Structure 1
Amino acid sequence: MAQIIVLGAGMVGAGAALALQAHGHDVTLVDRRGPGEETSFGNAGFIQAEAVEPYPIPRDLRTLVAYAAGRTNDIVYAPGALPKMAPGLWSYFRNSAPARHRQISAIYARLTQRATADHQPLIAASGQDALIRRTGYGQVYRDPRALERAARGAERLQRDYGTASEVLDGPALARAEPALKTAVPGALFWHDCWTCADPGGLTAAYAALLVRRGGRFLTGDALSLAQSGAGWSVATKAGRIDAERVVVALGPWAPDLLARFGYRVAMLWKRGYHGHFDSPAALNRPLIDDANGVVMTPTRFGLRLATGAALVDRKAPADPVQLRRGAAAVADLIELGPRVEEPQWFGHRPCLPDMLPLLGEAPRHKGLWLDFGHGHQGFTLGPTTGLLLAEAMEGRRDALLDALAPAARPSVLR
């Protein structure tokens, strides 16, 4: 049994802590805030076993021109932020080439396809089954040509990965979702996805499960991490704690900490916003308005609208233009209702240019383990990469772990 500190109490950190505890280790989870109060709090609440391919940068000129001209709502950007992002975006673009993207997807699918199975025992043990819907979600299309293209793509995913989906025409969609007030050509339903009515609450429940099983959660500063003898120490409100190993599961903040130890992480931050609405529309499952880049998820807090990606400086002030546009578009589809009064939330998806999470021991520091860079799928993959991390700590080696390991990815971690 080893003493292990896990830095970061989002879904990735909570998943890692529980997996390491299940393997017999003494685990302390540390965060500056409560569990599930940062990035994991504000996502759309999808556990995406169907997301077998990571999001590539489109290759067609028409789409790229639309992005550059600001004509889409799924991607917006701040021109002043792009120079700093340019090297990472170029690497991301190169990794999005069809042949390379297929190679990456073969690895990625091995993670996402097991995600719901890896969440299930934790959902049950934490007593949170009431938060979970296992009815999938629908991607709504306003353009029949876009629906046809999406259907062809879904057929390919069925052939290549066995991903279950179903195309509904307009009348069938109206029967499946009576709350829709506007006729549209149809939707693509993805059946393998689970959704959560309170992502932050589920993350907090996982952390509470860790404590009930004998682990600890402490409030502390990850940036206080220091080498201490043969191990590591962190300052917490309960005092300094020491451990043989430490796991960096800090998502978008991981590069800040690792820079102190001489590492450079090629991370891109995709900002996302959400807002809640007191909507009378009773959706049977979450829906995505594909044309407008907005997700509608029924939650404990109201109907949550979550946005696409904003490429902005991580410290830039809030500018929820995508949320405003998305809300205006969604109001054509459903009775949206008034906005819930709340502080404007936003978070940052920690994306690496090769679209894979970084998982394994840091190459120059014994006992410093990494588990971050999950991009859009931290909430999906936290338990999965946690289990893989625990196996890697026990010395397991295989093609999947090798592909995720820092030592194999100098373009991501230097």
Structure 2
Amino acid sequence: MGGLHTLGGEDVFRPYVRVLRLPGALIGYGATFLGSFPISMLGLSVLLLIRTSSGSMAQAGLVSGALSVGNACGLLVQGRLLDRYGQTVVLLAAGPTAGLALGGLTLAAVGHAPAPVLIMLSYLSGVAIPAVITCMRVLIPVMVSAPGDRRSAYALLGTQFNVAMISGPMVVSGLVVLSGPAAAVLTAAVAATVGGLVFAGTARSRHWRPAPAEEHRGVRLPGLLTSGMITVLGASFGAGLVGGLTSVAVPAVALTHHVTYLAGLLFAASSVGDIVAGIVYGSRVWRIALGTQLIICQIGGAVINGVLALLSGHPWAMFPAMTAGGAVQAPAGVANSALLDDVARPAFLGQSYTAMIAAGLGGSALGTTAGGRLSVLAEDWTLFVAAGTAGLAIACWTVLRRRSLSRLQTVP
């Protein structure tokens, strides 16, 4: 392949071994993995806790939704605080706060507290979940100097997050069977607290210093949004929008064909494709520019959604396309994250990363909402067409703005 410097098959994991052998890397990634579990566990465990205690799925949805909104807001707030005051003080405050808030939410739910109290505690819990993934993303450029290994480090960060997203709900299911949903929420609370405190205690995190205060003084949002950052935020929002539409389309197809159980299996196939592609992508040195890689993946994802639309009448035939869809998501996510090193102001890398994640969450929320409405008005295949159309639109956005991804440019 012209854009690829090929490594031997036996060397796929060698770049990751080099990264993990760097001082502080192994414990940093371990704490990040532990801190990722609450994100994957809490959506389901809080939903089940409130549903069990109140008997109302509507109330459970509101409380669980408040957690997601709080998490998005907390990412933005913690990103700004990290860039201003450093990682240690933020994580030492966030970890115990998240644990206490989740403990309070559990007690309030078991005690049948009013819905507003549950919503408030759930929102606070989401805000306080330690942003360990953001902290690790900020440390990687400092910790890994070689560009090729740095790409592997980003891929490893994304892959372990995906593994946590898959295994978290499985842990919740086991805990619910053994001890009930309250135990699952409390386990997530412990993981959030311990993950934040362990990461804060690592030498890399303690020794990292934010930019001098004068670089932050007087800077407002327009000054943070470089031209390239606007492009990256748009790409992240678009990826979330496509993902939100797909997250509705797949269950809709399964329900229509009376194979509800197939939805989870199809999403699992997508996750497998994501993880495998992420590992392979990060193990190789690519000569193709990051912006071009992102565009190729965006177009590939749009084409795959078109294929899924054609296959939506035959759910069992969708497995290869779902796996391929997951496979293009991984390099797209890594490329989008890696572009921050080129387009974000170094003093505001934490805020830039959290803004990128928040943009994706916002796009996902819009996609899920629009998909739910569209599923009532039209056939299932139209959801995949909508996702493919959105994917092509965001690919056009990236193509038209690709020059902004090559260097740091401020907005006029």
Would you say same fold, with TM above 0.5? no
TM-score category, normalised to shorter length: under 0.3
When normalised by structure 2's length, the TM-score is 0.26
Q: Give the helix-richer structure, 1 or 2.
A: 2
When normalised by structure 1's length, the TM-score is 0.26
Q: Give the strand-richer structure, 1 or 2.
A: 1
